[in-house]
Amino acid sequence: MRCALLILSLLFFSCAQDPEVIASEHFYFSRPSDTADVRTAEDSSAKGHYILRLDSLHKFGFSFTHPLQEKDLEKRLIVTYKAKIRTNHIYSAGSMVIVLSHHDKVTHWRPNNLNRHIADLGRWNWFYDSLSLPKSTKEEPYNTITVQGLLGDAVNESFDFDSVSVYVKGLEP
């Protein structure tokens, strides 16, 4: 009987493998100031809480950069990010940009348009997404990952970011 119970309990045991988190960053936005690189604003729906606001004058938002070690480059690298986003424009140009560079020389530039995550205009939309990175090769090497928020060519658009988290993960090849 005990044996059967042990077997039954083991039926619910999970042994799936999770990718290892190599680096992560959570962005918190503060009160606007003249010296800040990015533009923040107070969230109209939550007083005292500040969000990142991108528009035609402030196109670049947060930036997360992580230098990779040799042992990381041998793994299958994945960048995952989650955030709340809000826009007032049907044809939003809000993007997350992944930049891979090798000693300041950019080898990969990949913008991911966030339009597909906007279910409702003028409201906060939670999203989670991930992207597999190419292998670092002799022809196109990289040793640094940068993840940025970017507003492209939209006119009259105001694009907001909040609660941004970025992770760089590695899986065994």
Partner 1 sequence: MITKFHNQFLLFEKAVKGGIPLYLRRAFVLFFFLFSIHLFYTYIGTYNQLSTRPSSIHVWAQCARASVALNYYDGDMNFFKPKIHRSIDGEGVTGLEFPFVNYVPAVCYKLFGFNEAYYRGFVLLCMALGLLFFYLMLNRVTENPLLSFALTLSAYCSPVFLYYSNNFMPDIPSIGFTLIAWYFLFGYVRSSQESHRKLYLFLVFATLAALIKATSLVTILTVFGMVVLDYLKFYKTPSQQQLFLKKPRVIICLLIGIASLFAWYFWAHLLEQQYKSAAFAMSTVRVTDWATAREVWEIIYNNHRFEYYPYETYVFFTVVIALMVIGWKFVSRVYFSAFFIATIGNMFAVYFFFYQFKDHDYYIIPLTSSVFLMYLVFADAIKHVSIKYLSVLPYLFVAVLFFNLKEGVKWTRKDYQNRYNPDNVRYFDNTDVYNDLEPKLRKLGIGRNDKVLSGFETGWCNSLYKMNQMGFVFTTATAKEEMAHLLSLPQFKYMVVSDTVKYNHMFPGMLNYPVIASHRGLLIYKLR
User: By the criterion CB under 8 A, which residues form the site for partner 1?
Assistant: 4, 7, 10-11, 13-17, 90-92, 115-121, 129-132
CB of 172 to partner 1, least distance (A): 9
Q: Cβ closer to partner 1: 32 or 74? A: 74
CB of 157 to partner 1, least distance (A): 13
Q: Cβ closer to partner 1: 5 or 57? A: 5
Q: Which of 81, 80, 73, 78 is nearest to 140 (CA)?
A: 73
CA angle (146 as vertex; 168, 107 as ends), nearest 5: 110
142: helix, strand or coil: coil
Q: Is 127 exposed, middle or buried (0-12, 13-18, 19+ CB in 10 A)?
A: middle
Q: Cβ closer to partner 1: 4 or 155? A: 4
CB of 25 to partner 1, least distance (A): 20
